[in-house]
A and B are shown apart, each in its own frame.
Chain A
Amino acid sequence: MRTSECDLVIVGVGGQGVILISDVIGKAAVLAEKRVCGAETHGMAQRGGSVINHTRIGCSFSPLVGLGSADLLVALEPGEALRFAQYLSPEGVALVNTKPVLPATVTAGLARYPPVAEILSALRKHCRRVMDLDAIALAGKAGTAQAMNVVMLGALSSFIPLSQDDLLCSLAQVVPPRFLEANKRAFALGKAEVE
């Protein structure tokens, strides 16, 4: 028996705004009167490290998505997409922002960052569908590169059982009013990019 309507794993690097995405989804699920739960990374692991957020729509069980059972992997950073790809179900979809954030191990010359194409091809072997987008460029087009995470939110909105109205309504609760219009544009650009 399936115990959740839709399982998402949202990954990235500390500071990229992973938690905001899940917060908007969670609040939208409450507006839609659905059960929702999730888990997030705080504390030590946040300092420039990898972060992972689990969000389960229509679920009142484990806050963690099981390995191999995420319907959707949303990666704000391409390397992190591959790092956490084992959460994806083989039937799942990966949405990947293609702009890397180089870890200190790479900038210090201790390790190498692979070409993004290599990462995407490894991902493609792993799941049904991989969609890549330059979310930072799209956010810039919307008026603020800071809204990269909201571009990704717009992109993922087509793959989850929540309405755009509910998502935008909860986005307005989370984003400061003066940035709301730019964020709405970012959302729309992200959504259009994957349609």
Chain B
Amino acid sequence: MREYLLGNAAIARGLLEAGVGVVAGYPGTPSSEIIETVVDLKGDSKLHVEWSVNEKVALEVAAGASWAGRRAAATMKHVGLNVAADPFMTLAYLGVGAGLVVICADDPYCHSSQNEQDSRRYAQFAGIACLDPKNPAEAKEMAAYAFEISEKFNIPVMLRPTTRVSHSRSDVEVGEIRPPAGVGHFLKDPAHRVALPVHARPLHADLLAKQKGIEAELEGAPWNRLVLKGKTGVIASGIAGLYAEEAIAELDEEVSLLTLGAYPLPGKMICQMLEHVSRVMVIEELEPVVEEQVKMLARRVNPGLEIMGKGDSIPRHGELDLLTVHNAIARMMKRPERLAAKVPDTGILPPRPPSLCPGCSHRATYYAMKKAFGKNAIFPSDIGCYTMAVNMGTVDTCLCMGASITLASGIRHGDEGASICCSLGDSTFLHGGMTGLLNAAYNKARITVAILDNSTTAMTGHQPHPGTGVTATGEPTVQVSLEALAKALGAGLVETVDPYRLDETIKSFERARDYPGLSVIIARRACVIKARKKGERLRPLQVNEECKGCKICIDFGCPAIEFEGERARINSLCTGCGVCAAICPASAIEEVAL
């Protein structure tokens, strides 16, 4: 049976059809729907699926399950692998029990990310196999196949979809979901489970010795395809292979084509291509991983070969598309390029950047923070919806998950004399902020930390976390207290505020500002999208005739407040948070009467 599936849903199906026993991950665009689909499809199956606290935790949980004999997968976005890099690198030495798949979704063009690193490099670095799908159907097949390779060679295997695979849809053949396979028993084996130097040294040699076998196995993988035709060749990997196939079909050229989907790369196949052609273009997104190997092999088998790629027609940054690939191949074939599409004059259009929702409590928290700290304070921030508040002047930094607190500490220790108030969300705090807070307390950083607690992981689609009291599958569980955590980690002053109560929030920030040590403000108000989905309705507001047209409410930036003629007006987007009424100097904003 075929279904029209999102790439991430196809990956989830691939895992389930392969009898996966444990799936763990941390939300991150474009990877989040994998776990959500596993939750939706698992039914009564006894497989364990969890939102872990972060990616390192997720990978270690998955590794433990693998060592207990259950097929296991960890899911994350590309930058999550940086967090999980510690277990990732050494797991390649220690090996697996049942199959272990690391699903790492890359984001060329930074659609929803802080960088566009290429995870194929990581797989190469660790010495493990990497499968690079071109579409949802391949991603599903690869998810299942990854377990087999993992078990055959006793290594973790990376599945590396990109945004245009994870968030694309296509017709996909679906099969039967299998219950978790495997024994569920941890076998004691110190030589392969305890990474002491005495064990690690021979394991490193073993890992290197496996490489030839892995390469030989993958040489026959169905996702490496060679079609020899003319003397001009194209070698393309992952989704670039799809673009190349389409461009060659459009151009109707006799081009030899090698499409690649599995790493380590098939050396023999590449050499066959290089011996056959007189010039070749390598097409891949981001890093020249394939190109470097092609150049190395060409030195041996066809030193005179003309090799094109990065720096010629194929950019090393951003994502590729059909037009770029079409024109790169057209230029090589001396065919006319397809002209860039006619661009209509869009100058009359207003910009429409993504922004905080009407009624979002982060806007109120940032308003109060800035009121208390003043615009000359330093405001390190973090990763979440609130990064979109960069225009409010309270987001001075965004580096990686949890870095707000540690950057703030460093800025203080770097002798910055201004007040410093950093901010991060609840999920981000639990992911990567706790160690930073502990460090700030221990090393006496005099800063204020605002935890913007909307009681969910909002940006990635409202996943639960340990502060919510609910698991990935919706079961009730322990609800960790952020106040108790902050105290335990060493914060001197800990206060909780409701950002909708603006005056109290400002006063609380003022106390934190004046506190002679490490202070934490927990600004708690449920994400407005979630609250409204649950049925919460507050009375909306309106502007009365007292409005002087001062635009202070407009500067607040809520999409529900418009300026019309000489006065402000509140539109139908209003959720009734009431914060604008608190900031209006003319008391011209009031609740709509019942």
A interface list, Cβ under 8 A from B: 1-3, 13-14, 22-23, 26-27, 29-30, 34-50, 60-64, 66-69, 79-80, 82-83, 85-88, 90, 102-114, 118-119, 122-123, 125-126
Contact = CB atoms under 8 A, between A and B. Distances in A.
Nearest to A55: B169
23 contacts: A3-B246, A13-B352, A30-B2, A35-B170, A36-B169, A36-B170, A37-B169, A37-B170, A41-B167, A42-B29, A44-B29, A45-B112, A47-B385, A49-B355, A60-B170, A62-B246, A67-B321, A67-B323, A82-B346, A103-B352, A106-B562, A108-B555, A126-B344
B351 interface: yes
A43 B4 contact: no
Contacts of B3: 27, 30
B304 interface: no
B169 A63 contact: yes
Contacts of A88: 341
B111 A44 contact: yes
Contacts of B338: 66, 68
Given A61-B249, A66-B321, A104-B559, A36 B4 contact: yes
A48 B560 CA distance: 12
B37 to A, nearest CB: 13
A62 B165 CA distance: 10
Interface string B324-338: 001000000000001
Contacts of B246: 3, 61-62
Contact of B349 (A39, A82, A108, A110): A82
B107 to A, nearest CB: 9
B559 A87 contact: no
Given A44-B111, A114-B348, A102 B562 contact: yes
A123 B351 contact: no
B493 interface: no
A103 B344 contact: no
Contacts of B30: 42-43
Given A39-B169, A61-B246, A48 B164 contact: no
B559 to A, nearest CB: 4
A3 B249 CA distance: 7
A107 B562 contact: yes
A115 B564 CA distance: 16
Contact of B344 (A29, A108, A114, A125): A125
A111 B351 CA distance: 8
Contacts of A63: 135, 164, 168-170
Nearest to B110: A44
A47 B164 contact: no
A126 B33 CA distance: 37
B168 A30 contact: no
A29 B172 CA distance: 12
Interface of B: 2-4, 29-30, 33, 111-112, 135, 164, 167-171, 239, 242-243, 245-246, 249-250, 252, 321-323, 326, 338-346, 348-357, 385, 388, 459-461, 551, 554-555, 557, 559-563, 571
Given A45-B354, A107-B561, 11 more contacts: A23-B4, A26-B171, A37-B170, A47-B388, A61-B322, A107-B560, A107-B563, A109-B562, A111-B351, A114-B348, A122-B344
A40 B29 contact: no
Contacts of B4: 23, 26-27, 29-30, 36
A102 to B, nearest CB: 7
B354 A49 contact: yes
Contacts of A118: 348
B346 A42 contact: no
Contact of B351 (A35, A40, A105): A105
A86 B343 CA distance: 5
B341 A68 contact: yes
Nearest to B560: A107
Given A44-B112, A64-B164, A14 B354 contact: yes
A14 B355 CA distance: 11
Contacts of B167: 39-42
A86 to B, nearest CB: 5
Contacts of B168: 37-40, 63
A147 B414 CA distance: 56
Contacts of B164: 39, 63-64
A122 B348 CA distance: 10
A28 to B, nearest CB: 9
Contact of A61 (B242, B350, B561): B242
A14 to B, nearest CB: 7
A45 B555 CA distance: 22
Given A26-B169, A63-B169, A126-B342, A43 B29 contact: yes
B322 A66 contact: yes
A48 B252 CA distance: 42
Nearest to B563: A109
A38 B554 CA distance: 39
Contacts of B341: 66-69, 86-88
A105 B354 contact: no
Contacts of B345: 122
> Residue among A23, A66, A110 with the most chain B CB within 10 A?
A66
B245 A106 contact: no
B175 to A, nearest CB: 16
Given A3-B250, A44-B112, A61-B249, A85 B344 contact: yes
B243 A1 contact: no
A21 to B, nearest CB: 12
Given A82-B349, A109-B554, A109-B563, A68 B171 contact: no
A6 to B, nearest CB: 15
A87 B322 CA distance: 12
